[in-house]
Amino acid sequence: MSNDNTAASLQSVDHSRGVLPRSDGLAIAEGVILLCGLALLNHTGLMPFDVFPVHPYLFAVILLSAQYGLYGGLLSAFGAIALVHGGGMPVRAIDMSYAQYFQLAWADSLSWVLAALMVGLVTTRRSRALKAQASKLQSATVAQSIIAAQYQVLAQRTHELERSLAGRREPVEAMAPVQSNSAQGPRSARLVQTAG
């Protein structure tokens, strides 16, 4: 009986574990929609990237890194790099130094990767800490459920034992007056004989 109560408590805890973690497919889908949407706005001229002090892909990378951790941040950074450099590398002018050309070609891309690493690491560590706390809480909940189930079993057994003891006590109490009457009968007969 205690095993049945324990199993039921474990099943109730398993069904109430909470929110399921976000899938990798959802992170990829959101990254594609966000990056392609920004690229489409830039291509149509509704939101040209030149008017922004920083590249808008940086905000997308930070958002996805904060939401999905290191994995989602790096995927979005590499996706943004693929979108920017998919049409080819920028042409280096004759009077441009290699340092200037490297800054022109890769400054934004490296900033996306760095942002994904920094924000993603913080988010991943926080997510792991929350998972560890959730695991401890779940273990404590399971232990509490097991203790409660065992307490119920113990209380029921105690109640059954008290009932069985009460059932045994009733015939003994019923036989006590009969024995006292039988003991008083010979004594009264002796008193009558002595009086006679």
Q: For the chain, 196 residues long, give each residue's pLDDT as a single digit of tens.
A: 444 444 444 444 444 443 334 567 888 888 899 999 998 998 898 888 888 888 899 999 999 999 999 988 999 999 999 998 887 777 777 888 888 888 888 888 999 999 999 999 999 999 889 999 999 999 999 999 999 999 999 999 898 888 888 777 665 555 555 455 554 555 554 544 555 5
Q: How far apart are the C-alpha atoms of 150 and 5, rounded to whole Å? A: 8
Cα dihedral value 127, 130, 132, 137, nearest 10: -160
pLDDT at position 170:
60
Per the listing, tokens 């036989």 go with: 175
pLDDT at position 48:
87
pTM over 0.75: no
pLDDT at position 164:
85
CA 99, 103, 109, 111 dihedral sign is: positive
pLDDT at position 169:
66
**Residue 185 to residues 43, 98, 150, 181, Cα–Cα distance (Å):** 119, 128, 54, 6
